[in-house]
Amino acid sequence: MFGTIFLSYLWGMSWARLWPTRYDTTDRWRKKHRKNARRMYRGFVSLRGVYIKLGQILSIMGTFLPRSYTEELEGLQDEVPAHSYATMAKAFERAVGKKPTDVFVRFEQKPIAAASLGQVHEARNAAGERLAVKILYPNVAEIIRVDLRVLGWALKVYRTFVPVQQIEKVHEQLRDMLERETDLVNEARCIERMGKNFENDPDVLFPVVYPEWSTKTVLTMSFMDGVKISKKDALAGLGLDPYAVATKLTQVFYKQLFIDKFFHADPHPGNFFVQKGPEGQPRIVVLDLGSASELRDTLADGMLDILQGLMTKNDDLVVKGIETMGFVAEGGDRELLERTVRKYFEKLLNLNITDFSRISPDVAQQFAGAEMRRDELHELMKSIAYPDGWFYVERASVIMFGLSSQLAPKLNTVQVGFPYVMRFLAERLAQRNAAARLTAS
């Protein structure tokens, strides 16, 4: 698959050099990007596993790819055909030392969910409690190791043609995410930690882990009821308003990111269920926390400067924040990057968006950068780095706000999150001032 895409671009570049007026045009390259993006999408769906995860990463990291790729790869679904019961029963026995039927009084052979790295079976213990048993696929670590090696080769080839700084961070972020998601002991710790963060909120629920039947490759939890959060008809059946659900979900995310600084990094619809509370309010059930991440200090400090800059209309603070977060590549054209940031900041201040469900194409086009020359865009790509830890923040934000907009298109998520942002600003400024006083003394 990568070879086909590589040769396609090599062939296109050759013709573009011979007849630039005919073949080196924006329209031709746009069509080629779209065709290869569809090739990549079909290839990832066929290869599954690690490649599905890679596709999810690339669909978010728009800085590194033409928009055609991000649009096509956004359609990837992390669903795969289930493995047989015999295979999963052997994997459970190797991990726990007993067969599932020896541990549980009932163990469903058909899984209730299957994903790229493992699947979940329903079970009951001797006390009659409903349980969810997550089991990783056999040899998943070895498969990941081989796939990551192949991806490393492909990214090195891509790096020679697309002048993006630190493209290797795609590979690093993918490796880090997979290492965490294939360590179910880590997921158990994340569940416990995030559960404590929300222990005073009865409308945010987490499963309870059963450590006696959990290992690095098996995680046994309490079974969590609820309807999938993206199913509007099911929510209506419970008498729940999608806008109330979206508001609560958005509040949960803002609290995770800005108050706790420990957030769900994979908030796709399958990881949230909804229950109806005793007073008719929505309750959010949070699942699959293997990739939960901390907000790095450099990102928090940069976000503080950017938020202050936006509120005070100070583009110097915005530029400072972007640099603090780590977006400025070493050796890049800092002046071009700064000039671009200031230009888009000016456009942002001139926008007047009152209905977040109806952003006109004309408004969106203002941010498309069509007026930028191709050589400037080429140089700009060389000047942008991808900060450590930003992938998780960006991925979580894009997926979360996309989900909120599906539920409630007109919901103003900025307004919903304002109290959390203001608390973040106050706490971060207090920490910064305290550090400054300590340094001065």
Burial 57-93 (b: 16+ CB within 10 A, else e): bbbbbebbbbebbbbbbbebebebebbeeeebbebbb
Q: Which of 400, 394, 346 is nearest to 173 (CA)?
A: 394
What residue spans define the domains of the chain? 2-77+140-181
CA 13/CA 169 separation, integer angstroms? 26
C-alpha distance from residue 394 to each of 266, 295, 387 (Å): 11, 11, 11
User: Which letter does DSSP use for residue 257 in this model?
Assistant: I
User: Which letter does DSSP use for residue 63 in this model?
Assistant: G
Q: Which of 265, 295, 266, 269 is nearest to 284 (CA)?
A: 269
Burial 363-377 (b: 16+ CB within 10 A, else e): eeeeeeeeeeeeeee
pLDDT at 238: 95
Q: Is 70 helix (H, G, I), strand (E, B) or coil?
A: helix
pLDDT at 329: 82
Better-scored residue on pLDDT, 149 or 167:
149
Task: Give the position of tokens 């039927």.
Answer: 101
Helix H or strand E encompassing 293: strand 293-294
Helix H or strand E encompassing 274: strand 272-276
CA 166/CA 168 separation, integer angstroms? 5
Q: Which of 306, 284, 311 is nearest to 404 (CA)?
A: 284
Residue 7 scores a pLDDT above 80: yes
Cβ 155 vs Cβ 168: under 8 Å: yes
Residue 245 scores a pLDDT above 90: yes
Residue percentage of the chain with pLDDT more than 70: 87
Both tokens assigned to 114: 């299957």
Please report, as a single letter, which amino acid is at residue 332.
G
Q: Which of 282, 271, 181, 185 is nearest to 230 (CA)?
A: 271
pLDDT at 44: 85
Residue 57 scores a pLDDT above 60: yes
The whole-chain average pLDDT of the chain stands at 85
pLDDT at 355: 45
pTM reported for the whole predicted model = 0.80
